[in-house]
A and B are shown apart, each in its own frame.
Chain A
């Protein structure tokens, strides 16, 4: 198992990087989507 991780660490690193980038996109999407909504306690 550890050998497999070692041999594929480049792919794993790219998966991590891709997840970070997609996470940023998702974060920005929700930030923009929720920006125009009134706060919950004012409803």
Chain B
């Protein structure tokens, strides 16, 4: 078995684990044992799947001639299966890491200003910028739009980290927005890069891309409104 095929198998195993486990913490009682246990399984599975996606993207970028010689549009291939896959892998890892870190450091936001979180978010931002730029240069605005969504997420995460004071339990909204974002990213990658191999004619069908976002955004808005605390300005927590 070649290296790329081995990576695909491992990626599918890790990704399928994450895609299934992802729904348990959404349905389970928040903060309960099942929520935390299955949430960790989903997060670690997606981190592994994301790392493998990055490895496959790098192989696609720098070993494509040997791997799939029948593909003639090398630039489009590099954009879709190279730089965008690399960005989606980074985005998934970034969301997963931030979603855990923001809970771990809920009482001490200054810890999120350290090199671990900042290098994680910085790597996601850099990959998004390059994905968007590359997409525009090859005439694929879809790549730029996907990159824009990730950049907006990074901006709001940095806003929470560096803000002077945050509402009580503000980390809860950050936590589920990041981890639902992780799910959106993973399901988008699954539909657009993985499952799409069965129906390659629909590779740029925006409906394929939109379904995870529509479901995920609806869940995020629902949880955000549900988790919003009563207005008590005196309870704002400074870091």
A24 engages B221 (CB within 8 Å) = no
CB nearest neighbor in A for B231? A7
Most buried by B among A7, A13, A20, A27: A13
Interface size in chain B (residues, C-beta < 8 A): 29
Whether, in the assembled complex, B62 has its beta carbon less than 8 Å from a beta carbon of chain A, the answer is: no
**Nearest-neighbor residue (CB-CB) of A13 within chain B:** B156
How many angstroms from the CA of A24 to the CA of B173 in the assembled complex? 27
> B210 and A14: CB pair below 8 A?
no
The segment out of B109-117, B121-129, B144-152 that lies at the interface is B144-152
Per-residue interface assignment for chain A, residues 4 to 26, with 1 indicating a CB less than 8 Å from any chain B CB and 0 otherwise: 00110111011011101111110
Say how far A1's CB is from chain B's closest CB, in angstroms: 15
Tally of A-B residue pairs with Cβ under 8 A? 60
Q: Produce 1/0 per residue, B165-190, CB < 8 A to A.
A: 00100000110010000000000000
Q: A9-B159, A21-B210, A24-B209 are in contact. Are A14 and B145 (CB under 8 A)?
A: no
Contact in complex: B177, A24 (CB < 8 Å) = no
A21 to B207, CA, bound (A): 9
- Inter-subunit contact B152/A13 (CB<8 Å): yes
The answer to whether B156 and A17 touch across the interface, beta carbons within 8 angstroms, is no
A interface majority secondary structure: helix
A14 and B159 form a contact (CB under 8 A): no
Interface contact A20-B145, CB-CB below 8 Å: yes
Of B33-41, B63-71, B212-220, the one touching chain A: B212-220
A25 near B206 (CB under 8 angstroms)?
Answer: yes
Are B206 and A20 touching (Cβ within 8 A)? Answer: no
CB contacts (< 8 Å) of A17 on chain B: these are 149, 152-153, 213, 217
Q: Smallest CB–CB gap between A11 and chain B, Å?
A: 6
In the complex, the answer to whether A21 meets B224 with C-beta atoms within 8 Å is: no
Chain B residues, CB < 8 A from A13: 152-153, 155-156, 177
Given A17-B152, A17-B213, A20-B148, are A11 and B224 also a contact pair (CB < 8 Å)? yes
The residues in B between 193 and 239 inclusive whose CB is less than 8 angstroms from any CB of A are 204-207, 209-210, 213-214, 217, 220-221, 224-225
Binding site for A on B (CB under 8 A): 141-142, 145, 148-149, 152-153, 155-156, 159-160, 163, 167, 173-174, 177, 204-207, 209-210, 213-214, 217, 220-221, 224-225
A-B pairs, 6 with minimum CB distance: A24-B206, A28-B206, A21-B213, A13-B156, A21-B210, A14-B217
